[in-house]
Amino acid sequence: MSNNPSPLHTEFCGMTFNTPIVLLSGCVGFGEEYTRVNGFSNRDTGAVCLKGTTLEPRMGNAPHRVYETPDGMLNAIGLQNPGVDKVVSEILPTLDFSETRFIANVSGSSVEEYYEVTRRFDDSPIDAIEINISCPNVKEGGVAFGNDPAMSARVVEACRNATRKPLITKLSPNQTDIAGNAQGCIEAGSDAFSVINTLMGMAVDIESRVPVIGNNQGGLSGPAIKPVALLKVHQVYQVCREHNIPIIGQGGITTAEDALEFIIAGASAIGIGTALFYDPLVCKKINTGILDYLQRHDLPSIDRLVGTLQLHQPSPVRCGC
């Protein structure tokens, strides 16, 4: 690293990112899909989150798996992946770790599965591990781990015991108290957070009167969820700033202005996902816009901007006529 790092360089859990951009899990396969796009470069990213990985191979859900909605997209892929052994032994050796950081995404249907997949990634060149706690717990009737604070903490604790690598917990918005859940995950050993995962949604074919998505429901992503994601980042940041815990803010970011909103609200890095499907070169545009903003506001680095949101003071309530 040079003595005069770029203003876009971002420190995250002891890692230095080229830029604050993280390509989100499920949107770039296992890191190779966008390298075939003319003009795309991993050097425009800070990190790439690999596709969700389970202990055994999974075929995924029945189609339709993806459906476009106004200002967004529904997806229910079903964690299709070749299993952790193949990812570690065959896929990771093909990745160029000199260009960007690579983050594994761990999924499971039991605490034991999360532990075992994390343990196997610990003995690999992967830079960090993200745990997707939005998966259903089959031992508890299918309740998502991430929607129950106690179960969230159990998964984080198990994964913490399985690795010394940076551990990033991906929080679900489909819960009552996301800040309280974050506090429990910090106490269980989480080093960072991804905020947020997708919102649950549905689309209906009115002629056949059945859901369009083969799984009946799917995760909603894209610009439609941005206001929700921004609020959740702000709420989680209130807990994280006390512990110096960084956040990857994500949910509907398509422009530099979107990215800057998330950084001001408390995100140290920003995740790009759905936007890649219609503009594979969006990362370069976002980086250029952020750099221009930093220069215009005479800010030497992004970390000077994180969490600088100034809230309005509530007006006093006046009773009577």
pLDDT of the chain along its 321 residues, tens only?
445 679 999 999 999 999 999 999 999 999 877 777 888 888 899 999 999 999 999 999 999 999 999 999 999 999 999 999 999 999 999 999 999 999 999 999 999 999 999 999 999 999 999 999 988 765 666 668 899 999 999 999 999 999 999 999 999 998 999 999 999 999 999 999 999 999 999 999 999 999 999 999 999 999 999 999 999 999 999 999 999 999 999 999 999 999 999 999 999 999 999 999 999 999 999 999 999 999 999 999 999 999 999 999 887 766 655
Per-residue pLDDT at 43: 87
Residue 126 and residue 23: Cα distance in Å, rounded?
15
- The pLDDT, as a whole number, for residue 1 is 42
Query: Hey, what are 145's tokens?
Result: 């781990």
| CA count, 13 A, side-chain hemisphere, 264 | 13
Query: Which pLDDT score is estimated for 3?
Result: 54
CATH topology for the 10-59+77-199+220-304 domain: TIM Barrel (3.20.20)
Distance CA 179, CA 196 (A): 12
- The answer to whether the Cα torsion of 220, 223, 224, 226 is positive or negative is positive
Write down the domain spans for the chain. 10-59+77-199+220-304
Q: Which helix (H) or strand (E) holds 50?
A: strand 47-53
Active site residues: 135
Structure tokens at 213: 């998505």
> Residue 162 corresponds to which amino acid?
A
Tokens linked to 133 = 């706690």
Dihedral (Cα; 169, 170, 173, 178), 10-degree rounding: 10
DSSP notation for 163-219: -SS-EEEEE-SSSS-HHHHHHHHHHHT--EEEE--PEEE--EETTTTEESSTTS-EE
